[in-house]
């Protein structure tokens, strides 16, 4: 190798190392994984960290005398779980025959919804605070991939435990 080639190789190595050592290039953005679902003709985001899974095509067995929100029970991963209609819980008309179930991570129950739209990774800076009248919203997202409400699954689960007459969402 000639002296000029050796010098050029050394310069290229130094440039390569400098680029990766540059702190301004270090990615500092935080992201949140969400699933976008449709419940009662409303697209909503649910933080993936609040779910233990999403399943499709489960048979929901109605429970006599149950509230409008309680669709029935379903067998999921070897357990019998109550299934609540997410549309009703957020103040929308009940779904005719939901195909999808979101299994809550913090409680032994599932939420039924009409359609699974997609899963997204959204930068945390795109999450904005929610309007105070929206009890079930955990904020809103404004991004290129999705703009709309983010559900507060904790508030929804609390409402299941202590139902209220008013379900402000829309």
Q: What is the mean pLDDT of residues 96-125?
A: 93
CA 7 to chain centre: 53
Whether residue 104 is predicted with pLDDT greater than 80 in this model: the reply is yes
Percent of the chain whose predicted confidence (pLDDT) is above 90: 45
Q: Could you say which DSSP state residue 25 is in? A: G
Using DSSP, state whether 137 is helix, strand or coil.
strand
Whether residue 136 is predicted with pLDDT greater than 70 in this model: the reply is no
Percent of the chain whose predicted confidence (pLDDT) is above 70: 84
Q: What is the mean pLDDT of residues 14-37?
A: 76
- Residue with the bigger pLDDT between 37 and 137: it is 37
Neighbours of 21 (CB within 10 A): 9
Q: Is 129 contained in some domain?
A: yes
Q: Among 5-9, 16-20, 81-85, 111-115, where is mean pLDDT lowest?
A: 16-20
Q: Is 1 contained in some domain?
A: no
Q: Is 10 contained in some domain?
A: no
Q: Is 167 contained in some domain?
A: no
Q: Is 8 contained in some domain?
A: no
pLDDT bracket for residue 163 (50, 70, 90): low
Q: Is 22 contained in some domain?
A: no
Domain harbouring 106, CATH code: 2.40.50.180
Q: Is 4 contained in some domain?
A: no
Nearest to 149 by CA among 67, 71, 92: 92
Q: Is 54 contained in some domain?
A: yes
| Summary mean pLDDT of the chain | 85
**Structural domain harbouring 61:** 31-161
Hey, what are 102's tokens?
A: 């979101």
Query: How many domains in the chain?
Result: 1
**How much is the pTM?**
0.75
Whether residue 81 is predicted with pLDDT greater than 80 in this model: the reply is yes
- Residue with the bigger pLDDT between 19 and 2: it is 2
């Amino acid at each position: 190798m000639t002296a000029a080639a050796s010098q050029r190789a050394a310069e290229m190595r130094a440039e390569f190392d400098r680029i990766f050592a540059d702190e301004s290039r270090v990615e500092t953005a935080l992201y949140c994984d969400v699933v976008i679902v449709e419940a009662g003709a409303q697209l909503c985001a649910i933080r993936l960290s609040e779910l233990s899974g999403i399943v499709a095509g489960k048979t929901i067995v109605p429970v006599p005398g149950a509230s409008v929100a309680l669709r029935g029970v379903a067998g999921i991963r070897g357990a019998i779980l109550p299934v609540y209609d997410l549309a009703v819980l957020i103040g929308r008309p009940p779904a005719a025959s939901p195909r999808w179930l979101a299994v809550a991570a913090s409680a032994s129950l599932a939420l039924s919804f009409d359609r699974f739209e997609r899963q997204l990774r959204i930068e945390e800076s795109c999450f904005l605070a929610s309007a105070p009248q929206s009890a079930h919203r955990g904020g809103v997202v404004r991004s290129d991939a999705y703009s709309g409400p983010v559900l507060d699954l904790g508030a929804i689960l609390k409402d299941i435990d202590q139902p209220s007459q008013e379900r402000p969402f829309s």
